[in-house]
Structures are given as structure tokens and as C-alpha cells.
Structure 1
Amino acid sequence: MSTIIDLLGTQAGYYLDHVCKTIDKKLIHIPEPNMIDKAWVDSDRNIRTLESLQALYGHGRLANTGYVSILPVDQGIEHSAGASFAPNPLYFDPGNIVKLAIEGGCNAVASTFGVLGAVARKYAHKIPFIVKLNHNELLTYPNSYDQVMFGTVKEAWNMGAVAVGATIYFGSEQSRRQIVEVSQAFEYAHELGMATVLWCYLRNSSFKKDGIDYHAAADLTGQANHIGVTIKADIVKQKLPSNNGGFKAIGFGKTDGRMYTELVSDHPIDLCRYQVANGYMGRVGLINSGGESHGTSDLHDAVVTAVVNKRAGGMGLICGRKAFQKTMKDGVSLLNTIQDVYLDPSITVA
């Protein structure tokens, strides 16, 4: 705990002592060791899917706590391989990506068909694979922000994956097509007994208004999460909220004043709890993204995100660039420090 407090510095009390007075923690499904029985046994997920979810929950340093730590490495397509791996060319090699996830004590590794397929026979039985089905490739000029399917659910199943992942750019011109594609893919994945993870991201130039970026607004990201769980994501990935009031600022959608006065405050933990609530009050676990690497502040930033997520009632962190854009040793240390937040019983749900 002392290391976590040291990393939080003068903000320790702000994050660790906060009491949530918006959505009461008694209303949410807080992650715990028997999450399958608590959240999923009454659902329509088949037995094989429940086994796959248990494989995710039951691996790594956070095994059987109800929390997850996932290493995602699809940035070679999403942000270009050169830009992503220049800080540490070691990770051009798929074997080192999986090795980092294993040595870092992660529950699972999420990556592309190519990366995981290249080492599937060696590693698929050693750590759960989450195969990312679609990507926004960066080579089209001018850049077009769309998610395109790169392979099939059956391919992921054949390589031994326990789950598939996908991104939907909610709010984009292509979002309705992506919703249909991903919902159909998730249905087939469940039929084959795989779990589903959805990156519920927003993408629309109009979501920036008067110099303020609302792509991570609590009200907009919360609604993205709610659509994501509607198409049967078993876990949703979302950026940590950075503000609120996107619907009102941009002037669209439908709102209720209580969304901004009773269900949230301006505290990061309360903003994140609103995201949790939109995932069926935590039945579908919320994992927040670690975000890009900023160098020396990465460890502090990652711990803040983990503390906010855990105290809000989230399920864990999915951290990529902050880990793989460092040496293997430092990447493992960062992942372990994030996991220590979830292993620390003194850091409770607010």
C-alpha cells in the first residue's frame, strides 16, 4: 500500500478517501471471486462460454479475484507498427508480446490474428488469447476512421482463443454497420463457447466543441457502454472519463437533468461509476484503458486509473503502450504495480 500511496502523492487522499454519494455501491455488482455464479450463471451464455470467462478470471496474478489485467497489443495496426514499436523494437516479434503478458502476470493477452496466430501452438494453452477481430488500419490516405474485419470468429476459435475482441466507433458514420457486424460476430463467438470483449470507443469530429473534447465524456461513454452490453459484450473496454456533459454541449440525444446532478459528480470515481452503471450495474465488467505512454509519469498515471476503476466498481485495467514501450523488466514491473492495486484489500469500492 505504501508504494501506491507514494505514487499517488499529494492526490492520495483525493482518490483513496472519496465516498461515492451518487450511485450507491450496494446497487452494483462488485467484482468478487465467484463472478460466474454471481453475474453469469442465470444468463443465456452457454456452458462453454462460462468456461471461457472462468479461464479469463482464473489466470495470472489476479486469478479468481474477480478482477482482470489484460495486455493489449493491436497498436501496430491502429497506430502504425513503427510508431508503436520504435521505443522498444523487441515487440515487433509476437513471441515477446506474449512473453510480456505471461511474465507480467496478466489474465490474458489481446492482439491481432497475425500476432497470436504466429505463436498460437506455443502459447495458446499457457495464457488466454483474446483475438481482436477488427481494426482501423492507418495506411488509407487520407486517413479514414473505420473498423474493418480482419478475420473470422472461426479463425480465432481454431487458434485456441478463449475470447474475441472488437471495436465499435460509436457516433461515427460507419457505427451502425459496425454494430451489425460485431453483434453477429459476438453471437457466433458465444455459440462456439468464446467470451466477448468490446472496445466501446467514440469517434466523431463534432464531439469536440468550443475547444473541449467530449470523446471521453461520462454521459457519452456511458451510453456507448450501454449499447455495447446490449449486443452481448461480456466485458466492455472504455476510456476513463475526463469530463461530462457531452450530450448537452453538442446538443443531441436525450437527457435527464438527474444524469448530471444525482447520478454523477465531477469526481473521477463518480464519473467512472456512471460507466459501470451503464454496464448493467457491473454485471458486465468495465475495464478502463491505460492510454498512451507519457514516459516518466506512466506508473503514476496507471495507478491513478486503476484506483479510480477499482473504487468505482470496475473490473480491471487493459494496459498496453505504457507496458510494451518500455524494457521487458520495466513493463513487467508496471503491470505488477497495476495488479497490486486490485490485490490490495485496503483499496475498497467507494
Structure 2
Amino acid sequence: MNNLVELLGSEADALLNHRCQTISQDSLHLPGPDIVDRIYAASDRNVRALGNLQRLIGNGRLGRTGYLSILPVDQGIEHSAGASFAPNPIYFDPENIVRLAIEGGCNAVASTYGVLGIVARKYAHKIPFIVKINHNEFLTYPNKFDQIMFGTVEEAYDMGAAAVGATIYFGSAEATRQIVEVAAAFQRAHELGMATILWCYLRNSEFKKDKDYHVSADLTGQANHLGVTIQADIIKQKLPENNGGYNALKFGKTSPKVYDELTTDNPIDLCRYQVANCYMGRCGLINSGGASSGSGDLAEAVRTAVINKRAGGMGLISGRKAFQRPMAEGVQLLNAIQDVYLDEQVTIA
């Protein structure tokens, strides 16, 4: 705990001792070792999907806690291989991506068809695979901001994947098509017995006004709500940094209570609103780790983990902060994130 206080610095008291007075923890379905039996088993997911959810929950250093630590490495497409792997070229080799996830004690590794497929026979039985089935590629000129399918759900199933992941750019001109595509893919994944994880990201240039409302609690919360509607078992979302997106953009419908009663300026309360939109935690919320900023990565990653855990979230999915540094340092960073979820003194706010 002392090291945690040091890493959180001036925010330590506000983050570690905060008590949520907005949405009570008693309203939430919190992560725990029995989360599959307690929550998912009551759903329409078939027994094979429940088994793969249990694989995700049961693996790695956080195994049997109900929390998740996932290594996502799809940035070779989403941000270009050069931009992603030049800081540490060993990760041009897919095997090192999977090795980092295993040595880092992660529950699972999430990556592309190509990355996971090229080493599937060696590793698919050693760590759960999450195959990212759609991507935004940046080689088309001028650049487009669209998520397109890169393969089929059957391919992910054939390589032994435990889950599929997909992104929807909610708010974009292409969102309607993406919703239809991903909903169909998730239905097929569940039918084949795989879990489903949705990257619920916002994309629209009009969402940037006086602040960047792509990371507002109210708009990201609604994206989460759309994600669980198409039966994502787990939601991946950026940590909220502000609020009031609906009011600033002057579109859509909301309620004053969202801002007066259900949230405050405390980042834990903002994140709890995201959890509430995941059916009060029935579908787990994992927050993303964000870009690597160098020496501050460890403190930033630990801060995000504390906020997510105390808000009622299910864990962290952090990539660039781990793989854009030597493997031993990447392992240490992943372990530091996991230590937050293993620390019984870091409780639900």
C-alpha cells in the first residue's frame, strides 16, 4: 500500500479513501471468483461460452479473483506496425507478444488473426486467445476511420480462441453498419461457445468542443449500454476524463440527474457511471491503459487500475505501456497493475 500511495502522489487520498455517494455499491454486481456461476450462468449463453468465460476468469495471476488483466496488441494495424513496434522491435515477432502475456501473468492475450494464428498450435492451450475480428487500417489514403472485418468467427474458433473482440465506433457515420456486423458476429461466437468483448469507442470530430467528449462519462456510458445490448460479455472502454457530453453537443437525450445525482467530478464516480451502463456490472467493464508516455507509465497504469477497481470494474486491458519497453519491464508493469486487484486494502468505493 505504501508504494501505491507513492505512485498515486497528490491523488492518493482522493482515490484510495473516496466513498461513492452516487450509485451505491449495493446496486452493483461486483467481480468475484463466482462471477460466472452468479451472473453469466443465468443468461442465455450456452455451456461452452460459460466454459470459456471461466477460462478467462481462471487464468493468470488474477485467476479465481473475478478480475481480468489482458494484454491487447492489435496496434500493428490500428496504429501501424512501425509506430507500434519500432520502440521495441522484438514484438514484430508474434511469439514475443504471447510470451509477454504469459510471463506477465495475464488472464488472456488479445490480438489479430495473423498474430495469434501463426503461433496457435504452440500457445492456444497455454493462455486464452482473444481474436480481434475487425480493425481500422491506416494505409488507405486519405485515411478513413472505419472498422472492417478481417476474417470470420469460424477462423477464430478453429484456432482455439476463447473469445472474440471487436470495435464499434459509436457516433461515427459507419456505426450503424458496424453494429449490425458485430451483433451478427457476436451471435455466431456465442453459438460456437466463445465469449465476446467489445471495444466501445466513440468517433466523431464534432465530439471535440471545449473538451474532448470522446472520453465523457455520459457518452461513453451510453456506448457501453449499446455494447451490452448486442450481448458483449465484457466491455472495453477508455477511462472517463470529463462529463457533460450530451449538454455540450446539444443532441440526444439525457437527464439532469445524470450530472446532479449519479456522478460527481471524482474519477471513481465517473467510472462507476460506466459500470452502471454495463447492466450494473452484470457485464464486466475493463478500462484501457492508453498510450505509452514513457517514465510516467507505471503511475498512470496503477492509477487507472485503482479507479476501475474502486468503481466496480472488472480489470484493465493494457498494451502499449507494456510492450513498448523491454520485456522484463513490461512484465513488471503488468504485475503492478495486477497487484492493485490482488490488494485487499483497495476496496470498492
User: Does the pair score TM above 0.5?
Assistant: yes
Who is 2:57 aligned against? 57
Per-residue deviation at 1:6? 1.7
CA–CA distance in structure 1, aligned partners of residues 12 and 257 of structure 2: 29
Query: In structure 2, what is the equivalent of residue 198 of structure 1?
Result: 198
What amino acid does structure 1 have at the position aligned with 2:342?
Answer: L
Amino acid at match of 2:64: N
- Local SS of the residue matching 1:21: coil
Partner of 2:328: 329
> 2: CA distance between counterparts of 1:38 and 1:143?
45
1:180-239 residue CA offsets vs partner (Å, 9 max, x unmatched): 0000000000000000000000000000113x1100000000000000000000000000
Residue in structure 2 matched with residue 3 of structure 1 by the alignment: 3
Match of residue 82 from structure 1: 82
Q: What whole-Å deviation, never above 9, does each CA across 1:73-128 have from its counterpart, x for those lacking one?
A: 00000000000001100100000000000000000000000000010000000000
SS of aligned partner of 1:5: helix
In the aligned structure 1, how far is the partner of 2:180 from the partner of 2:265?
A: 34
Aligned with 1:342: secondary structure? helix
- Please name the residue that 2:230 is paired with: 231
Normalised TM-score (structure 1): 0.99
* Mean CA deviation greater in 331-340 or 1-10: 1-10
Q: CA deviation at 1:9?
A: 1.9
Matches within 5 A, 1:59-138: 59-138=59-138
Query: CA offsets per residue over residues 117-155 of structure 1, 9 Å max, x none?
Result: 010000000000000000000101111000000000000
2:164 alignment partner, SS class: strand
Q: Give the secondary structure class of the aligned counterpart of 2:42.
A: coil
Identity, in percent, stands at 71
1:94 is aligned with what amino acid? P
Which residue of the partner structure matches residue 291 of structure 1? 290
| Aligned counterparts, 1:1-350, within 5 A | 1-210=1-210, 212-350=211-349
CA distance in 2, matches of 1:40, 1:11: 35
**1:2 Cα deviation after fit:** 2.0
Distance 1:345 1:269 in 2: 18
Inter-partner Cα distance in structure 1 for 2:35 and 2:78? 32
- The 1-side partners of 2:300 and 2:5 are apart by 13
Q: Which structure 2 residue ranges, 5 or more long, are not aligned?
A: none
The residue type paired with residue 331 of structure 1 is: G
Report deviation, 1:10: 2.4
Q: How far apart, CA to CA, are the structure 2 residues paired with 1:35 and 1:4?
A: 27
Corresponding letter in the other structure for 1:83: A
The runs of 4+ residues in structure 1 deviating greater than 3 Å are none
User: Post-superposition shift, 1:37?
Assistant: 1.3
2-structure distance, mates of 1:115, 1:225: 27
Q: 1:4: how far off? A: 1.4
1:16-41 CA deviation, whole Å, 9 max, x = no partner?
A: 00000000000001111100111111
Q: Distance in 2 between matches of 1:149 and 1:257?
A: 38
- Matches of 2:9 and 2:199, distance apart in 1: 31
Describe the superposition over 1:25-77 as per-residue Cα deviations: whole angstroms up to 9, x where unpaired.
00001111100111111110000000000000000000010000000000000
* Aligned amino acid, residue 282 of structure 1: G
Find the residue that maps to 1:191 and give its secondary structure: helix
Task: Give a deviation string over 1:142-180, Cα, whole Å, max 9, x none.
Answer: 110000000000000000000000000000000000000
- The count of residues paired between Structure 1 and Structure 2 equals 349
Provide TM-score, normalisation by structure 2: 1.00
Partner-residue secondary structure (3-state), 2:70: strand
Q: Distance in 1 between matches of 2:46 and 2:94?
A: 32
Supply the distance in 1 between the matched residues of 2:8 and 2:111 (Cα, whole angstroms). Answer: 30
Partners of 2:10 and 2:272 in 1: CA distance? 23
Q: Distance in 1 between matches of 2:345 and 2:30?
A: 15
In 1, the alpha carbon distance for the partners of 2:290 and 2:87 equals 16
